[in-house]
Amino acid sequence: MTTEIVVVLGIALAAIGLFATERLRMDAVALLVLGSLALSGLVDAGQALGGFSNPATVTVAAMFVLAAGLQNSGALSGIGSLLGRAKSPLQFLAILFAVLAVIAPFVNNTAVVAVFMPIVMTATASVGMSASKALIPLSYVSQMAGVCTLVGTSTNLLVNAMAKDLGHPGFGMFEFTPLGLICMGAGCLYLLTLGRWLLPDTRGAELVEHYQLGKYITELRVMPDSSLIGTSVGEAKLGETFGVFVLELLRGDEKVWSPRAQTLQEGDVLLARGDWSQLDELRQKAGLEVDPQFRLGRRAFEEAEQVLTEVMVAPRSRVVGSTLATLAPRWQHDATVLGIHRRGQVLRDTLRDVRLRVGDILLMITPEAEMAALRKDKNVIVLSERDAQRPRGWRAPFALATMVLVIGTSALGWAPIAVTSLMGAVAMTLAGCLDADDVYDAIDWRIIILMAGLLPLGVAMSETGAAAFLVENTLGLVREFGPLVVLAVLYLMALLLTEFMSNAAAAVLLTPIGLSTARMMDVDATPFLIAVTFAASTSFATPVGYQTNTMVYGAGGYRFIDFVKAGLPLNLIFWVLGVIFIPVFWPF
């Protein structure tokens, strides 16, 4: 083992640890990796910065713009009415899967789920179906459909770009389609049968009509006329009477020890947890008020018609890591935050000090006039309001035609996908499908930085021999059983790694390993690269393995175990199908 191999593997292990623990943002980790490789001399300046000009990076950025153009033009506005025609939950899921099968192979699946979530939550209520029965399938099928084409996910493009950099010819637009359709067909059949019974029936996830998504944390101030003054929390029996539980008692700037035993005074603030309807009932009957410190925005709107709405912090939101206190000066909408819901965790900090995470849901009051702007804000996803009906006009068919030309021109080999997608993004912008200023907001810059920062790691692993070293000491142990067994083990490695860290990072680490495996076995590298691509692009067993899973985790009222129960069998199905059919379509 050379010094270069030790350094590269050390950088890779450090990156894996940071990705898995999420101590740093994934784009920051990618830049640290890039800087470490460049400073240690493992890649030259051209290789270190080449990821920013790589066709895959450009394509992913352009595809984000194209997806935003489709959404803003109203090209997808008819989906809600189509889903609303379903007469039964089974029919609803079948229609949803069919729509996703058409859209998700060509539109980034994170954008697809962001668009579909409020639509699905509205439509499920109309067919008498719990949203928790549909949101995990929405995430899963968007991943399944995304792997059917080269542009369906950023991971596909990333593996393709890295493979080309390392000497492989790369993949065509629809090269993944045969295996993708088989896996998606099996996955949809599973979700329509056994998978339906493994998913929870969480009626509290139906937000649109009742605002009872989950247990909110809010702060209630004891007013001068409150009936609670002079009694303790324990004596008031708030849990038994209202279903509300007091987590902390705030008196001034201090948390009071043993809050249930303290006699309440005027001005005390209760950090309380419960369904919003229960919290509101307690507020009205006990003479409490929501602490007004959570006002976001500058204008007063007491006289305006107000809307009670729930918004979720989006995966690429700029508010991630911010507190309500630090967010207020740069928040672009007028709103009063009433409470915060975080799935799987009870918050005990004062709300102004809670650092927002992806998937957090804010219950807020907003002027009705602000709702259109709030729906367009890419930092949040409006869950409890119907999507604005956009006039279709000529821009909707124009956006659809542009998307077809982008994909078709590239598929026919007339121009590279990086060029066609870039021209398509320009065309949609010039046509007014989205504003020029919105182009930059449409792009998930964290994904772009992640891809550009990690591409040099794959080059370094290959050129230093680190990938070959790993192969000899892992997959090399089963080489005597033949390439099929090695393929099965590599797919399983990618599957496990993707469940606990960024799928893009897993793809970057395993692509050079796949190529080195092929050299070790003296066979074609394509089957191993396909295995890496499919495993890294489909993560079902944890809510943190893929961004779309994280998005539906809070909104559906799920527990971690729900993903394990529904997703682990699906992972095994994909693994078996991959091992069987990859050698059929791409022989060794």
Enumerate residues 6+ apart whose C-beta is below 8 A from 460.
Answer: 8, 11, 37, 42, 43, 466
Q: How far apart are CA 588 and CA 580, in angstroms?
A: 13
| The domain boundary residue, chosen from 238, 273, 290 | 290
Q: How far apart are CA 423 and CA 416, in angstroms?
A: 11
Asked whether residue 208 is domain-assigned, the answer is no
- 158 and 250 fall within a common domain: no
- 309 and 241 fall within a common domain: no
Task: Give the residues across from 257 on adjacent strands.
Answer: none
> Which residue's entry shows tokens 């790369």?
170
Asked whether residue 85 is domain-assigned, the answer is yes
Looking at residue 179, its pLDDT comes to 95
Asked whether residue 388 is domain-assigned, the answer is no
**What DSSP string runs through 247-284?**
EEEEETTEEESSGGGSBP-TT-EEEEEE-HHHHHHHHH
Could you tell me if 163 and 155 are in contact, meaning their C-beta atoms sit under 8 angstroms apart? no
Q: How far apart are CA 330 and CA 328, in angstroms?
A: 6
Looking at residue 117, its pLDDT comes to 80
- 230 and 268 fall within a common domain: yes
* Residue 27 structural domain: 3-203+401-585
- 133 and 225 fall within a common domain: no
Distances (CA, A) of 19 to 49, 336, 452, 510: 21, 34, 16, 15
Diameter of the chain by CA atoms? 82
Domain tally, the chain? 3
Asked whether residue 147 is domain-assigned, the answer is yes
CATH number of the domain encompassing residue 250: 3.30.70.1450
- 357 and 429 fall within a common domain: no
Distances (CA, A) of 487 to 175, 189, 438: 19, 25, 43
Q: How many CA atoms lie within 13 A of 80 on its CB side?
A: 20
- 152 and 219 fall within a common domain: no
Reading the block at residue 510, the tokens are: 């395993």
Asked whether residue 391 is domain-assigned, the answer is no
Asked whether residue 549 is domain-assigned, the answer is yes
Asked whether residue 395 is domain-assigned, the answer is no
What does the pLDDT profile of the chain (588 residues) look like in tens digits? 788 889 988 988 888 788 777 677 778 888 998 999 899 888 888 888 888 888 888 888 888 888 888 877 877 766 767 777 778 888 889 999 999 999 889 887 777 887 788 778 777 766 778 778 889 999 999 999 999 999 888 888 889 888 888 889 989 889 999 999 999 999 999 999 998 889 887 654 343 333 344 567 788 888 888 888 888 878 888 877 878 888 788 887 777 767 777 888 888 888 888 777 778 788 888 888 876 545 555 444 444 566 777 788 876 677 887 887 777 666 767 777 777 877 656 676 677 778 888 778 888 777 777 777 777 777 787 876 544 444 457 888 898 899 889 888 888 888 888 899 999 999 999 988 888 877 887 787 888 888 888 888 888 888 888 888 878 888 878 888 889 999 999 999 888 888 877 777 788 888 888 888 888 888 999 999 999 999 988 889 888 777 788 778 766 778 888 899 999 999 999 999 999 999 999 998
Reading the block at residue 522, the tokens are: 């003296």
Q: How far apart are CA 535 and CA 442, in angstroms?
A: 27
Closest C-alpha to 501, from 458, 467, 450: 450
- 167 and 300 fall within a common domain: no
DSSP-derived 3-state class of residue 222: strand
- 132 and 67 fall within a common domain: yes
- The enclosing H or E element of 341 equals strand 335-341
Q: How far apart are CA 531 and CA 488, in angstroms?
A: 8
- 187 and 244 fall within a common domain: no
Reading the block at residue 121, the tokens are: 């939550």
Q: How far apart are CA 419 and CA 15, in angstroms?
A: 32
Reading the block at residue 82, the tokens are: 């189509």
Asked whether residue 476 is domain-assigned, the answer is yes
Residue 145's Cα: distance from chain center in Å? 16
Looking at residue 212, its pLDDT comes to 40
- 436 and 569 fall within a common domain: yes
- 411 and 471 fall within a common domain: yes
Q: In the 8-state DSSP scheme, what is residue 354?
A: P
Strands 361-367 vs 306-313: parallel, antiparallel or unpaired = antiparallel
| The domain boundary residue, chosen from 382, 409, 424 | 382
Angle formed by the axes of helices 177-192 and 526-537, nearest 10°? 30
| The domain boundary residue, chosen from 315, 349, 382 | 382
Closest C-alpha to 70, from 350, 427, 532, 342: 427
- 413 and 358 fall within a common domain: no
